[in-house]
Amino acid sequence: MITIDPKEISTSEFHGWMLHAVAPRPIAFASTIDNNGVPNLAPYSFFNSFSSNPPTLVFSSNVRVRDNSTKDTLANIKANREVVINVVSYNMVRQMALASIEYPSDINEFEKAGFTPIPSDLVKPLRVAESPVQMECKVKDIVALGTEGGAGNLFICEIVKMHVHESVLGANGKIDPHKIDLVARMGANFYCRASGDAVFELNQPVNEIVIGFDKLPEYIRHSDTLTGNELARLANVKAIPEADPNYNWQELLPPNCSIAEAHQLAKQLLEQDNVAAAWQVLLAVK
Ligand SMILES: Cc1cc2nc3c(=O)[nH]c(=O)nc-3n(C[C@H](O)[C@H](O)[C@H](O)COP(=O)(O)O)c2cc1C
């Protein structure tokens, strides 16, 4: 383990460590407008949702480290407290990167990056037609975390209207995580695409009380074969199952098999999503 004290290295160096570690980060593709009506578009990955009622998004624009200057997005939001946050899907990622170039304030990044501006219903900033979800926001608060290079300016944004492309909806009428094909920012110039195997579903307890790791029998909990993820699947049951005398585990294992062999079989059964059978094997061979 290496240990880092942020005060002992430069802001840029710590920024690098932090951004590689706090990743993948969703990207707010922020559309704002200045008081002369010039549209502005820039990506911000210091971004997430923080409240459902009121529906609130927060993103942050840093003071530049190189010269302590601030960005157009901050100036525009200070001027009129409105923003449209567009999400970024894979098919927009290279155009989005073009919009992050630090053009002068009077340059319209919709034009530079080739995006189609469409009017919003309740705010002045324009929406990005190519983005599958566009959220019109009123900025409730701006919180400056400092004045030196690297300091964030947090925008607390209340969503007043959300627009969703039908193309990303599943049969249930909700956003399908496989169809929306979002990208996220990682450290340096690395990105992450939420598609294929990267998108998976966990059977996770919410209101159900399950036994947890501490209630797993010792010989299972300290298995040399089963991983933390596999033990977590076993711990995700309401009660330790009863050993079923009719469960024919002998068919799958040699007579007098070792605990390690039984745990290996349980591992395979867990891989096949068969938690009940894995429990039976583990209960039968102690
Ligand atoms: C994917 C991505 C994410 C970014 N995230 C941030 C961020 O969270 N904060 C920030 O200050 N700059 C971030 N940037 C850099 C800004 O997009 C860049 O400085 C941009 O030119 C600012 O535009 P503006 O002056 O029009 O606001 C990011 C760039 C990219 C490509």
Q: Where in the chain is the domain with CATH 2.30.110.10?
A: 6-195
For residue 245, the model assigns a pLDDT of 86
CA distances from 258 to 249, 253, 255, 267, 278 (A): 13, 9, 9, 14, 15
- Take atom 24 of ligand 1 and give the residue whose Cα is closest: 72
Model confidence at 277, in pLDDT bands (50, 70, 90)?
very high
Does residue 191 contact residue 184 with C-beta atoms inside 8 Å?
A: yes
Longest Cα–Cα distance of the chain, Å, equals 82
Per DSSP, the residues of 72-138 read HHHHHHHHH-EEEEEP-BGGGHHHHHHHTS---TT--HHHHHTPPEE--SSSSSPEETTSSEEEEEE
For residue 181, the model assigns a pLDDT of 98
Closest residue by Cα to residue 96 from 104, 85, 106: 85
- Take atom 30 of ligand 1 and give the residue whose Cα is closest: 43
pLDDT of 204 higher than 90: no
> What are the φ/ψ torsions at residue 214 (nearest 5 degrees)?
-65, -20
Rounded to the nearest angstrom, the distance between the alpha carbon of 106 and the centre of ligand 1 is: 17
For residue 286, the model assigns a pLDDT of 85
Rounded to the nearest angstrom, the distance between the alpha carbon of 97 and the centre of ligand 1 is: 9
- Take atom 15 of ligand 1 and give the residue whose Cα is closest: 100
More confident residue, 60 or 252: 60
pTM for the full predicted model: 0.94
Does residue 30 contact residue 44 with C-beta atoms inside 8 Å?
A: yes
Closest residue by Cα to residue 45 from 18, 81, 9, 14: 18
Helix axes 259-271, 228-235, angle to 10 degrees: 80
For residue 89, the model assigns a pLDDT of 98
Calculate the average pLDDT of the chain.
96
In the numeric block, the tokens 């995700």 are attached to: 236
pLDDT of 184 higher than 90: yes
* CATH topology (fold) of 6-195: Pnp Oxidase; Chain A (2.30.110)
Does residue 18 contact residue 87 with C-beta atoms inside 8 Å?
A: no
Q: Is 39 in the pocket of ligand 1 (CB under 6 A)?
A: no
Q: How far apart are CA 286 and CA 281, in angstroms?
A: 9
For 19, the token pair is 């951004």
More confident residue, 208 or 224: 224
The number of the ligand 1 atom at minimal distance from the alpha carbon of 41 is: 26
- Ligand 1: which of 19, 44, 69 to mutate, judged by most atoms within 8 Å of the beta carbon? 44
Q: pLDDT for 111-157, tens place per residue?
A: 999 999 999 999 999 999 999 999 999 999 999 999 999 999 999 99
Please name the residue ranges forming H helices in the chain. 11-21, 72-80, 93-99, 109-113, 177-180, 218-221, 228-235, 259-271, 275-284
% of the chain residues with pLDDT over 90: 92
- Ligand 1: which of 40, 45, 90, 128 to mutate, judged by most atoms within 8 Å of the beta carbon? 45
Burial 178-204 (b: 16+ CB within 10 A, else e): eebbbbbbbbeeebeebbeeeeeeeee
- Beta bridge mates, 41: 31
Please give the single-letter amino acid code of residue 198: A
Rounded to the nearest angstrom, the distance between the alpha carbon of 164 and the centre of ligand 1 is: 24
